[in-house]
Amino acid sequence: MEARPGQSSRGHAGSLTHIGAALPPPDLGTRPEAGVCAQCGGEVQPFWLPIPKRPRWCVAECCPSCAETQEILRQLVRRREQAERTLRDRIARAGLGSPYRASRTFATFRPVPGTERAMAAAAAFARQMVEAPGGVRRGLLFSGAHPSEPNGCGKTHLALAILHEVLGSDVARSGLFVQFADYLDALRRSFRRAETEEAHAPEWVRFSMYEVELLVLDDIASAAVGRTGWQAEEICRLLNHRIEHGRPIVATTDVGPDELADRLGKRVVSRLYEACEIVPIDAGDYRRPEQ
């Protein structure tokens, strides 16, 4: 192919290679002495830099070997910073940005009598989610089993710890922590606004709940859903979708099976039991100093 006017067949007219090739060869008599590598103290040979209008000899601060090592270290730092930004973004998107939720990890969990089984189940589940992404289909339901103090026994802490562990891995990519009552409230508001504000349509509220890899539903007995009504239909839709697509749920409740069925309805509870393994926590109030 013939070169166009003003274009050399050896390269583009404006390229550094072409311009540098047209410069006169370097004057070897003006070549500086070899330098000393700032890293290893080895010899650094000068090189000719054919910059247009200012070609000159240059001596690098480091030898090629040390320069390559420095570039590798810079890449590692950039990758670490990118991983930290990615983790912060995952945590924020998952609803764990508040100081309270951010501090609930396995490392900060304070074991008390009655939490051993729940702690082991939580750690095993988190490990499976990390080691076999997509292979865990059934989640956990932490239930307060203490006869007089079902609240404050560490259910939410363990659920948050699982989510932190999963989000911090190199494999899992998405998770969401949601208060069950807030989910129903968001749906209720979306029904009212759906006709005028498309961004608040129910589909926008449902999307993350359906699609995240791990969903944590906290305090699922906080609202009386009942046997019928739109609340029961919505929670059934959510559970059915996640069961069918193999996306696990971690849930918490402070009531027993009978009261849970009274609040959510047997139909909802049946699907919940299909989606989750029941993990009772027979411990007192986890927040009390004497526990």
Does the structure show a pLDDT above 50 at 136? yes
Residue 9 pLDDT > 80: no
Residue 214 has pLDDT above 50, yes or no: yes
**Per-residue pLDDT averaged across 115-119, rounded?**
88
Helix then strand then coil, % of the chain, to nearest 5: 45, 15, 40
Kindly indicate the confidence band of residue 250, based on its pLDDT and cuts at 50, 70 and 90: very high
Instruction: Give the residue-averaged pLDDT of 159-168.
Output: 90
- Does the global pTM surpass 0.85? no
Let me know: does 177 contact 129? Beta carbons within 8 Å: no
Which CATH superfamily groups domain 98-281?
Answer: P-loop containing nucleotide triphosphate hydrolases (3.40.50.300)
Q: Do 254 and 151 touch, CB atoms closer than 8 A? A: yes
Sequence spans of domains, the chain: 62-93, 98-281
What mean pLDDT do residues 70-99 have?
Answer: 76
**Separation of alpha carbons 12 and 7, rounded Å:** 6
Q: Is residue 290 within 8 Å of residue 149, measured between CB atoms?
A: no
Measure Cα distances from 126 to 11, 76, 121, 165, 195 in Å: 57, 27, 9, 6, 41
| Mean pLDDT estimate for the chain | 77
Range of weakest confidence among 8-17, 33-42, 59-68, 152-161:
8-17
State residue 171's pLDDT score.
63
Distance CA 156, CA 142 (A): 8
Query: 148 or 117, which is more confident?
Result: 117
User: Helix or strand or coil: residue 147?
Assistant: coil
Does position 147 have pLDDT exceeding 50, yes or no?
no
Contact 157, 286 (CB under 8 A): yes
Which range, 16-30, 109-123, 219-233, 275-289, is most confident?
A: 109-123
With contact defined as beta carbons under 8 Å apart, do 18 and 11 qualify? yes
If phi over 0 gives left and psi between -120 and 50 gives alpha, with beta otherwise, what is residue 122? alpha
Indicate if the pLDDT at residue 167 is higher than 50: yes
pLDDT digits (tens, 9 = 90+) for 88-113: 676 677 777 788 888 889 999 888 78
Give me the residues paired with residue 176 across strands. Answer: 215
Burial of 249 by CB count in 10 Å (0-12 exposed, 13-18 middle, 19+ buried)?
buried
User: Does residue 83 surpass a pLDDT of 90?
Assistant: no
Whether the pLDDT of residue 153 is over 90: the answer is no
Asked if pLDDT for residue 75 goes beyond 90, the answer is no
CA dist., res. 273 & res. 268, Å (int) = 9
Residues 20, 51: Cα–Cα separation, whole Å: 7
pLDDT: which is higher, 256 or 148: 256
Cα(215)–Cα(204) distance, integer angstroms:
16
User: In sequence order, which ranges of the chain are alpha helices (DSSP H)?
Assistant: 16-22, 64-93, 99-102, 116-131, 155-167, 180-193, 202-211, 230-244, 257-264, 266-275
